[in-house]
Amino acid sequence: MSSGQSDIRYIDSHTEGEPTRVIVEGGPDLGRGSLGERLGRFRESADQFRQAVIIEPRGWDAVVGALICEPTDASCAAGVIFFNNTGYLGMCGHGAIGLAVTLHYLGRTGLGKQRLETPVGVVEVDLLSPHEVAIENVPSYRLHSRVTVEVDGLGSVTGDVAWGGNWFFLVGESPVPLVAENVDQLSHAAKRIKLALIRERITGAEGAEIDHIEFFGPPGSPNAHSRNFVLCPGDAYDRSPCGTGTSAKLACLAADGILQPGVPWIQESIIGSRFSATYRLDEAGRIVPRITGRAYVCAEGTLIQQPDDPFRHGIQA
Ligand code: PYC
């Protein structure tokens, strides 16, 4: 590294098409404390790092970053904070799968189970093969069912509010046909729904913003149960079926008595990739989703920030 230049080593993977960038070296030191406290410090004093890694010219809107941290829970192999083009995620299902495959690729873990600490709780990752991972997510639940909002250009839209590690508004019948060619129209409709939720002050628990919008419709292939489209905070769409979004869906299916514990649900994404999902009930009767998907390492490299580069922290649009 030349004087004044910061270098960041990363490994990129994709989980069912959705990219994850794991920071291997050169991340900020967030000190000690809970993952929630360290996320707060990341946001307050190292947000330029997030921007440099994710936004152009070094990153792109769809990628989710994963910063590996020391866990506070001794039963966990690692802690992780996920971040994207607009901020930070409580949990990220595709990202946890990508991280598990990346740690194995680096020779840091073998096949089998590991626990990961996230700002919203501990998740378990089970590396079934070098490319297939099952995650046991945080307990998930439906907060509100059949909430109707008036949306500009769409009229009345009804959906459920559910937690799957992030907050989701789940619309059972997509307002736009769920085919990849319609991604722009789907994104436009989802953005308008997000604005309507804000306008009507419809939130997750304790006033949390509902920052993911999810549409459902019939699957494109006969052995899946449903196809989805997920708009993430920052307005990129999820190429995978979204791990936390599939968890929120399971919470709604369980609450409606449609899906029983242990019965598989195959969720297809807007590009046709899939997660296989089941759930169990914990001691408190909450659902604990298990999401299985595949990830592949697709790049590794070094991000370079030269001190006189006007865009070393990304292009601030
Ligand atoms: O897989 O949970 C997920 C996720 C959240 C945002 C993008 N992917």
If you measure from the C-alpha of residue 71 to the centroid of ligand 1, how many angstroms do you get, rounded to a whole number?
21
151 lines ligand 1 (CB under 6 A): no
Which ligand 1 atom minimizes the distance to the CA of 91? 2
Check if the interface score ipTM surpasses 0.90.
yes
Domains 8-134+298-303 and 141-281 in one fold = yes
Strand ranges for 219-282 from DSSP E? 226-231, 265-268, 274-281
If you measure from the C-alpha of residue 85 to the centroid of ligand 1, how many angstroms do you get, rounded to a whole number?
13
Q: In terms of Cα–Cα distance, which of 95, 101, 98, 87 is closest to 118?
A: 95
Q: Are 119 and 66 in contact (CB under 8 A)?
A: no
Alpha carbons 194 and 190: distance in angstroms, whole number: 6
96 lines ligand 1 (CB under 6 A): no
Domain residue ranges in the chain = 8-134+298-303, 141-281
- Per CATH, the number for 141-281 is 3.10.310.10
Which ligand 1 atom minimizes the distance to the CA of 240? 1
And the tokens for 9?
């080593």
94 lines ligand 1 (CB under 6 A): yes
If you measure from the C-alpha of residue 1 to the centroid of ligand 1, how many angstroms do you get, rounded to a whole number?
33
If you measure from the C-alpha of residue 316 to the centroid of ligand 1, how many angstroms do you get, rounded to a whole number?
24
pTM: 0.97
139 lines ligand 1 (CB under 6 A): no
4: left (phi over 0), alpha (psi -120 to 50) or beta: left
CB-based burial label for 37 (10 Å; 0-12, 13-18, 19+): middle
Q: Is 11 helix (H, G, I), strand (E, B) or coil?
A: strand
Cα distances from 98 to residues 105, 146, 281, in angstroms, run 10, 33, 26
- Per CATH, the number for 8-134+298-303 is 3.10.310.10
CB neighbours (10 Å) of residue 221? 10
Mutate to test the pocket of ligand 1, among 15, 187, 230 (most ligand atoms within 8 A of CB): 230
Encode the chain (317 residues) as per-residue pLDDT tens digits.
445 778 999 999 999 999 999 999 999 999 999 999 999 999 999 999 999 999 999 999 999 999 999 999 999 999 999 999 999 999 999 999 999 999 999 999 999 999 999 999 999 999 999 999 999 999 999 999 999 999 999 999 999 999 999 999 999 999 999 999 999 999 999 999 999 999 999 999 999 999 999 999 999 999 999 999 999 999 999 999 999 999 999 999 999 999 999 999 999 999 999 999 999 999 998 999 999 999 999 999 999 999 999 999 999 87
Q: pLDDT at position 1, please? A: 46
Q: pLDDT at position 317, please? A: 75
CB neighbours (10 Å) of residue 18? 31
Mutate to test the pocket of ligand 1, among 54, 60, 170, 244 (most ligand atoms within 8 A of CB): 244
